[in-house]
Structure 1
Amino acid sequence: MASIGWVLLLFLAHLHTLLSTSIAHHAIGGNLTHHPVPFLCHPDQAKALLQLKKSFSFSRSTTRLSSWRNGSDCCLWEGVACDVSSGYVTVLDLNNRGLYSHGLDPALFNLRSLRRLDPSMNDIGGNIPPGFERFAFLTHLNLSNLGLYGEIPIGISKLVSLFSLDLSSHLDNQYICDPGPNNYIGAKYLYKSSSLDTLVANLSNLRELYLDSVDLSCSGEEWGIALARSVPFLEVLSLAYCGLHAPIHKSLSRFGSLIVVNLQGNIFMAPGLFPVFFMDLINLTTLQLPSANLEGSFPPRSFQSKNLRVLDLSDNPYLSGHFPDFSDTSSLEILRLERTNFSYARPMSSSNFKSLKNLSLDGNLSVDFLSSFGGLGSLCQLDLALVDSVSELGSIFSWIGHHKSLTSLKLFGCNFSGITPTLLVSNFKTLKSLRMVSCKLPRLVLHSVGNLVGLQTLEMTGCTTYGSMPSSIGNLTNLRNLCINHCGFLGPMPAAIGKLTNLRNMYINDFGFSGPIPDAIGNLTNLNAITIIRDPGDQVSGSSIPYAIGQLSELEWLVLQHCKFSGSIPTSIGNLTQLMMLDLSENSLSGEIPSSIFNLSVLHYLDLSSNKLSGPIQGFDNKVNSQLETVRLRNNTLSGEIPPSIFSLPVLRILSLSDNQLSGPIQYDNTASQLKEVDLGYNALSGSIPEAIFQISSLEHIDVSSNNLTGSVDLSHFSRLTELTSLYLSHNKLHVTDDAADNPLAGVTKLGLASCNITRFPRLFMDLNLIWFLDLSCNKISGDIPNWIWASWRNSIVYLNLSDNMLTGMQLTSDVLPFANPLQVLDLSFNILSGRIHMPNLSADILNYSNNKFSSILPNWAFYLSETRYFSVSKNNINGHVPLSICSNSSWLQVLDLSYNNFSGSIPACLIENVPLMVLNLRENHFEEMLPSNITTRCALQTIHLHGNKIVGKLPRGLSNCSCLEVVDFGGNQIVDTFPSWLRGLPELSVLILRSNQLYGTIGDIVEDAESDECFPSLQIIDLSSNNFSGNLKPEWFKLLKSMMEEFNSPGKIITHDISSFATFYHDFTEITYKGTYVTFRNILTTLTAIDFSNNRLEGTIPETFGRLVSLLMMNMSHNSFTGKIPAQLGSMADLESLDLSCNQLSGEIPQELTDLTFLGVLNLSNNDLVGEIPQANQFSTFNSSSFEGNAGLCGPPLSKSPCGATPNAGNIYKSSRHVDVALFLFVGLGFGIGFAAAIVAKWGRVGRWFTATGRAWRT
Structure 2
Amino acid sequence: MGNPLPFWSWKIWFSSFFFGFSLLCILVSGFSGHIPLEISSLKMLVSLDLSASPLVAPIQLRRANLEKLVKNLTNLEELYLGGIDISVADWGPILSILFNLRILSLPDCHIAGPIHSSLSKLQLLTHLNLDGNDLSSEVPDFLTNFSSLQYLHLSSCGLYGRVPEKIFLMPSLCFLDVSGNSNLTGSLPEFPPSSQLKVIKLSGTRFSGKLPDSINNLAFLEDLGLSGCSFFGSIPSSFGNLTELINIDFSRNNFSGSLPSFASSNKVLDLRNNSLQGIIPKSLYTKQSIESLLLGQNKFHGQLEKFQNASSLSLREMDFSQNKLQGLVPESIFQIKGLNVLRLSSNNFSGFITLEMFKDLRELGTLELSENNFSFNVSGSNSNMFPKIGTLKLSSCKITEFPNFLRNQTNLFHLDLSNNRIKGEIPNWTWNVGDGKLVHLNLSHNMLEAFEKPGPNLTSTFLAVLDLHSNMLQGSFPIPPASIIFLDYSENKFTTNIPYNIGNYINYAVFFSLASNNLSGGIPLSLCNAFDLQVLDLSDNHLTGSIPSCLVSSNILKVLKLRNNEFLGTVPQSNNYDGSIKDTQTANAFALLQIIDISSNNFSDGTGMVIGITLGVVVSNEIIKKRGKVHRSISSGHALRRNL
> Cα deviations across residues 1121-1162 of structure 1 (Å, max 9, x unaligned)?
xxxxxxxxxxxxxxxxxxxxxxxxxxxxxxxxxxxxxxxxxx
Separation (CA, whole Å) in 1 of partners of 2:27 and 2:339: 46
SS of match in other structure, 2:154: strand
Q: 1:1089 to 1:861 in 2, by over 3 A?
A: closer
Specify which of 96, 99, 104 is matched with residue 429 of structure 1: 99
Q: 1:615 to 1:975 in 2, by over 3 A?
A: farther
- 1:776 aligns to what? 417
Q: How does 1:395-544 map to 2 (within 5 A)?
A: 396-398=66-68, 400-411=70-81, 412-417=84-89, 421=93, 425=96, 427-436=97-106, 437-441=108-112, 446-465=116-135, 467-488=137-158, 510=159, 513-515=160-162, 517-521=163-167, 523-536=169-182, 544=187
Separation (CA, whole Å) in 2 of partners of 1:959 and 1:757: 45
SS of match in other structure, 1:574: helix
> Cα deviations across residues 460-497 of structure 1 (Å, max 9, x unaligned)?
34444465444444554443333224433xxxxxxxxx
2:130 alignment partner AA: M
The offset of 1:406, in angstroms, is 2.3
What residue ranges of structure 2 are gaps of 5+ in the alignment?
Answer: 52-57
The offset of 1:808, in angstroms, is 0.5
> 1:525, 1:551 within 8 Å by CA — same for their partners in 2?
no
Separation (CA, whole Å) in 1 of partners of 2:304 and 2:240: 21
Q: 1:373 to 1:566 in 2, by over 3 A?
A: closer
Q: How does 1:788-937 map to 2 (within 5 A)?
A: 788-793=429-434, 795-814=436-455, 816-817=457-458, 819-820=460-461, 822-856=462-496, 857-888=498-529, 890-935=530-575
The offset of 1:922, in angstroms, is 2.1
Separation (CA, whole Å) in 2 of partners of 1:816 and 1:956: 44
Specify which of 1241, 1246, 1252 is matched with residue 643 of structure 2: 1241
The offset of 1:576, in angstroms, is 1.7
1:880 alignment partner AA: G
Q: 1:930 to 1:407 in 2, by over 3 A?
A: farther
- 1:223 aligns to what? none
The offset of 1:686, in angstroms, is 1.0
2:315 alignment partner AA: L
Q: 1:960 to 1:301 in 2, by over 3 A?
A: farther
Separation (CA, whole Å) in 1 of partners of 2:77 and 2:591: 54
SS of match in other structure, 1:813: coil
- 2:47 aligns to what? 380
The offset of 1:758, in angstroms, is 1.1
- 2:38 aligns to what? 371
- 1:715 aligns to what? 355
Separation (CA, whole Å) in 2 of partners of 1:767 and 1:420: 60
SS of match in other structure, 1:720: coil
Look at both structures and tell me which one has the larger radius of gyration over its CA atoms: 1
> 2:558, 2:595 within 8 Å by CA — same for their partners in 1?
no
Separation (CA, whole Å) in 2 of partners of 1:883 and 1:710: 48
Separation (CA, whole Å) in 1 of partners of 2:628 and 2:242: 41
Q: Does 1:577 align with 2:247?
A: no
SS of match in other structure, 2:628: coil
- 2:628 aligns to what? 1064
Separation (CA, whole Å) in 1 of partners of 2:615 and 2:440: 39
Specify which of 241, 252, 260 is matched with residue 610 of structure 1: 252
The offset of 1:679, in angstroms, is 0.8
Q: How does 1:288-299 map to 2 (within 5 A)?
A: none
- 1:1188 aligns to what? none
Q: Does 1:595 align with 2:237?
A: yes
Superposition CA RMSD, Å: 3.9
Separation (CA, whole Å) in 2 of partners of 1:701 and 1:783: 32
The offset of 1:373, in angstroms, is 8.1
> Cα deviations across residues 330-377 of structure 1 (Å, max 9, x unaligned)?
8746xxxxxxxxxxxxxxxxx7584862154887758xx623885464
1:586 alignment partner AA: G
Separation (CA, whole Å) in 1 of partners of 2:411 and 2:452: 22
2:561 alignment partner AA: N
> Cα deviations across residues 645-674 of structure 1 (Å, max 9, x unaligned)?
112211211111111111111113132322
- 1:694 aligns to what? 334
Specify which of 556, 567, 573 is matched with residue 198 of structure 2: 556
- 1:182 aligns to what? none
2:252 alignment partner AA: S
- 1:358 aligns to what? 26
SS of match in other structure, 2:356: helix
Q: How does 1:1096-1115 map to 2 (within 5 A)?
A: none
Q: Does 1:1085 align with 2:634?
A: yes
> 1:580, 1:602 within 8 Å by CA — same for their partners in 2?
yes
1:590 alignment partner AA: F
What residue ranges of structure 1 are gaps of 5+ in the alignment?
Answer: 1-279, 281-299, 304-322, 334-350, 489-509, 937-945, 978-994, 1000-1020, 1025-1042, 1044-1053, 1068-1082, 1091-1220, 1222-1237, 1243-1260
2:26 alignment partner AA: N
Separation (CA, whole Å) in 1 of partners of 2:610 and 2:219: 71
Q: How does 1:1140-1155 map to 2 (within 5 A)?
A: none
Specify which of 660, 663, 666 is matched with residue 301 of structure 2: 663
Q: 1:353 to 1:894 in 2, by over 3 A?
A: farther
The offset of 1:954, in angstroms, is 7.2
Q: 1:783 to 1:685 in 2, by over 3 A?
A: same
> 1:636, 1:659 within 8 Å by CA — same for their partners in 2?
yes
2:109 alignment partner AA: S
- 1:1033 aligns to what? none
> Cα deviations across residues 17-38 of structure 1 (Å, max 9, x unaligned)?
xxxxxxxxxxxxxxxxxxxxxx
- 1:641 aligns to what? 279
Separation (CA, whole Å) in 1 of partners of 2:368 and 2:112: 50
1:887 alignment partner AA: C
Q: How does 1:887-1036 map to 2 (within 5 A)?
A: 887-888=528-529, 890-935=530-575, 952=580, 960=588, 966-969=594-597, 974=603, 976=605, 997=611
Q: 1:954 to 1:451 in 2, by over 3 A?
A: farther
> 1:330, 1:353 within 8 Å by CA — same for their partners in 2?
no
- 1:751 aligns to what? 392
- 2:188 aligns to what? 545
Q: Does 1:629 align with 2:178?
A: no
| TM-score, normalised with respect to structure 1 | 0.45
SS of match in other structure, 2:353: strand
SS of match in other structure, 1:809: strand
> 1:353, 1:374 within 8 Å by CA — same for their partners in 2?
no
SS of match in other structure, 2:333: helix
> Cα deviations across residues 780-836 of structure 1 (Å, max 9, x unaligned)?
11111123323455623221111001110111324632643x212111100011110
2:174 alignment partner AA: N
> 1:522, 1:550 within 8 Å by CA — same for their partners in 2?
no
SS of match in other structure, 2:206: coil
> 1:976, 1:998 within 8 Å by CA — same for their partners in 2?
no
Separation (CA, whole Å) in 2 of partners of 1:420 and 1:746: 54
The offset of 1:746, in angstroms, is 3.2
| TM-score, normalised with respect to structure 2 | 0.85
